[in-house]
Amino acid sequence: MRWEGDRESDNVEDRRGDGGGGGGGFGFGGRSIGIGTIVVALVASYFLGVSPATILGLLSGGAPPQQQAQVEQPRAERADDRETRFVRTTLAYTEDAWAQLFSEQGAQYTPARLVLFEGRTATACGTGQSATGPFYCPADGKVYIDLGFFRTMQQRFNVEGEFAQAYVIAHEVGHHVQNLLGISSKVHAAQQRASETQGNALSVRLELQADCFAGVWANRTNQRAKILEQGDVETALNAASAIGDDALQKQARGVVVPDSFTHGSSAQRVRWFERGLESGQVEACNTFDAKKL
């Protein structure tokens, strides 16, 4: 992936090394989302796209956790290592792509902020923990990432490459776009009225749309900045395939239970990312009206 030397976003908040924020952690009680083991569930939970506490509460029929007051974080010296610069540049790519897409519809894009942290940190959706993987909190409009997750992708799922990491960031920003468009709130409201199976099905459509939005981002960014190199798309497809619900459930339990899917199968995740990548159009990502996912 070609990215060095391009604009870096100022919307990255670096909380690493501050000792963590807040206390306590996310609860995983209530009705199962069907992943099967805590380890796989925690690694995979980032693809829920919002705070795991929020989603799990909704899927179990409860109310979202109360928003918590943000703890003012101390300002750290700006990190300048390659990995941090990559994150800032990738976030800038999402800002440019979505600003263009919103402008085409006569609207203005409000960028997401991305928080880098280690261990745990305070969010408006509860205490975020590294173990849950990257997630988006709609209550504060921020993406939270512990960069150790990228190493987990490589070690546990054999997914390598910077474009695969960029896909992770773009997927989370896709949930920010859903939040701005009012899609997330409608889905979460519907989930509170739905059965577990129905709520899972809605979650799948939400996640697949975020995958498609990540593909739209890749299309628009490559048109403008020519970031893609040979093999890059394959790395993102490998990431999408590795964390399909069917692949995770088979790894965890040896059996696949489609009614418990919350993210989509490997084939579905690949298909919707490719759809966004090929079209470059938000309209191609209407998973909610699609008869076949």
Under a CB-based contact definition with an 8 Å cutoff, are residues 87 and 114 in contact? yes
Tokens encoding 122:
């305070």
Tokens encoding 219:
């299309």
User: Residue ranges of the domains in the chain?
Assistant: 12-16+73-284
Whole-prediction pTM:
0.79
Q: How confident is the model at residue 32 (pLDDT cuts 50, 70, 90)?
A: very low
The rounded distance, in Å, linking the Cα atoms of 140 and 126 is 11
The rounded distance, in Å, linking the Cα atoms of 157 and 23 is 30
> Is the pLDDT reported for residue 93 higher than 90?
yes
The rounded distance, in Å, linking the Cα atoms of 56 and 50 is 10
> Is the pLDDT reported for residue 36 higher than 70?
no
Rounded to the nearest angstrom, the gap between the alpha carbon of residue 44 and the centroid of all alpha carbons in its chain is 10
Q: Which residues contact 35 (CB under 8 A, 6 or more apart)?
A: 41, 44, 248, 249, 252
The predicted pLDDT at position 245 comes to: 63
Highest mean pLDDT among 54-58, 96-100, 190-194: 96-100
Bridge partners (DSSP) of residue 127 are 122
**SS3 letters across 109-148:** CCCCEEEECCCEEEEECEEEEHHHCCEEECCCCEEEECCH
Bridge partners (DSSP) of residue 116 are 14, 145
The predicted pLDDT at position 132 comes to: 82
> Is the pLDDT reported for residue 124 higher than 90?
yes
